[in-house]
Every structure is written in structure tokens, then in C-alpha cells.
Structure 1
Amino acid sequence: MAKSPHGRAVERMAAEIGYVCIHWAWLENMIDFLIAHLAGIKDEEAWHAITGNLDLRQKTQILRALFFLRKGKNEDWYDYAVEMLNFIDNDLRPRRNHLVHASLYGSGWDLKHEKKIIKITKPQAFQKAELKTLDVRPAKIAEARKLQKEIFQYAGFCGLIYGFSLHADVAERQGVSFQQFLRQAKSSGRLKHKRSKPKRPPKLPRAKSG
């Protein structure tokens, strides 16, 4: 294999960015499955046509409404799902966008991300407004690796939301809560949090007494 002209640091960062893209596509696929299932769209071409023309922010807004409409008595499922969406939309999405769309440059292990922006700010009230057109940040391989692992894990959380929703009516009739579903998933090995635990995973509400 020919030696890369970019250097080892750029190669390692490029690998992590690649995993960010791969895992993000998996995450969006799970979100698309959720929209199709909760909206009752059974025609595969129809839901591909719909979700394929929505960006992630639009998808999360649609899902918030669908979660509310389909929650029934499963309040813990709804709370978990909404908190998961908020983290994806407000934390993972902007971090992913900056990593993927910013240019990468530097020498050796001193890498930088540079992204064009338009931002007018006033550092202090008595100072003149300033125009900022570049956002330059250090490009850290460890942060990119953490991000791709968190995206992968949240794709798994979407899968849990989807899995429970497939049998939500039965679970409601039998009195099986989403908390119990998660415990069963964890005991069966389908839910693992030991590796690359996100800094703010969705939290379930405490069970109400009485």
C-alpha cells in the first residue's frame, strides 16, 4: 500500500471521521424506521420518499409528535424517547456537523478544524460589533473517536425505542413497563453501557409510589 502524503495524525483523524459518517447513517436509518412505524406507513417506497427528503431536525420534530401520539400509558417510554431525541438533536448533531463539514489542516499532531461562518457579536455592551467569518478549533482525535462511539450507542437506543413500540399495545395490556423491557434487554446482553458510555445517556423517571 502506498504511503499517505498526509501524515499519521490526519490518517487517524480521517478514520474516526469515516466512522462518524457510517454510524450517523445507521442512526438516521433507525430514526427513519421509527417514523415509518409510528406513522403507520407500510409502503417501503413511500416512507423512503418521505424520510429521504427530510433533514435530521425535521425528523426529530416529527418524531416528538409521533412519540406523543403513540405513548398511551407508556410515559416512561415517552420520556426516554424525548430525552434521547433532545441529545441527538442538540448535542450529537452539531458536533457531527462541525467534524464532517469543517476543513482539516495542520502539521504533525497539531491539527485544526476550520469552518466558514457568519457571526456578528459584541464582546461587551460598550464595544463595537465584530464580524466573525471563521471558526477555528483544535482537531482532537480522541474527541472524534468519542463522538463516533456515542452516535453508535444512540443508534442502539433508537433500536430499543423501536423494539418496545412494536409491542407497546401488548405491553400496556399486560402491565409491562418500558423500565422492565430495558431490564430484560440488559439481562439478555442486548443492552450494554460499559464501553464508551455517553456523558448524558437518557434517564428513566423514577417509578411513582402507590
Structure 2
Amino acid sequence: MAATAPICDFGWKAVDARLIGTEGRAHSIFDLAGPNGLVVAFICNHCPYVKAVIDRIVQDALHLENHGIGFVAINSNDAGAYPEDSFKNMKLFAEEHDFPFPYLHDEDQSAARTYGAVCTPDFFGFNGELELQYRGRLDASRKEKEASGLRRDLLDAMIQIARTGQGPVEQQPSIGCSIKWKAGSAADDWSAVTARS
């Protein structure tokens, strides 16, 4: 089922978490920030929205590194119900697309709940003070793999944030597959989302 992320809660402070990456070691989200900011992207392996844009996500992450912006991807989906999103398959997905950033497993879904993640992909762009300045789409491609000539919303916003510390006032929300919550947690997760939006 498709879901739409809420608008940016400007100034919301990033929250740290320590999660296992596909290469087998734990990472602190805060340690992955660059001097000018950080993108925290909630993605997964099976979502057609993610599959359509994953190579452009990789390209933009590499570009943002040159602007002092760190990047991390997190998979919070229930792998019991969606085996394609298992940790084993996360490793394969990261290798297949040559991820230049850590791909972290949020097995207990606590990071997704804390951030109020709604869909895959869902992008959170923070400035150098780790204050939220962007909550929007990658670009206007939706599920188009070969989309070209589109405004690169995330990239442009994060370059602006690297230069000024502030994101654009006008932002288009990300749309994607809903986060696949574990049984019995959906009500609590929705409360976390609406509390921040």
C-alpha cells in the first residue's frame, strides 16, 4: 500500500541509534553525519518505489559527500512477513547497487518509530546541527526507473542546507510503500507519526 510522508517538522532534532550494518558492524547514526549535515533514508529491498530510484539515491549520496553531507540508509520492515527485506537480502541489495553508505537493520523498528518514518523511501535531511531541514522526495520520478531531466529535490535541498543551514520552504512529500510494521505495533507507530506531524 502506498503512503505519503508528512511535511517537514523544521528544527526537529535527530535522534541517535546504534544499528547493525550489512558489513556486520554496529554504527551510530550520529557518527555518520558530515560536517554540513546528514541524510537518514528509510528504504527496503522489495519496494518498487525504492527499486526504481536506488541507483539515483546512490548517485546523489556520492554527490552530497562532496558537500560535507553524510548519508545512511535504514531498513525497518518486518522481515518475518516480507522475507525479501531480511538482513541476508539487505547484504545482497547493498552489494548489487554498490552502496557507498552504511545500510542498517532496524530489527525492532525503534528507529522508524522514533523518526516517524512512514514509507519507503522516506528521506530526513538534517543540517550541521542535526536539525531537520528537509522531509521530501528524491525527485518526481515515483516508480520510473529511467526518469531523466527531473528536478533533483533531495540533492538540491541538501546542497542548500550545506551552504546555509536551512532547507527550502516548499517541499514535496515522498511517496512510497508503507513501512511494514510488525503485528501489534501499528497503532503505536501511527501515534508516533501523528505526534510529530
Q: TM-score under structure 2 normalisation? A: 0.25
User: Which has a greater percent of strand?
Assistant: 2
Q: TM-score under structure 1 normalisation? A: 0.24
User: Which has a greater percent of helix?
Assistant: 1
Report which of the two structures shows the higher radius of gyration computed on alpha carbons. Answer: 1
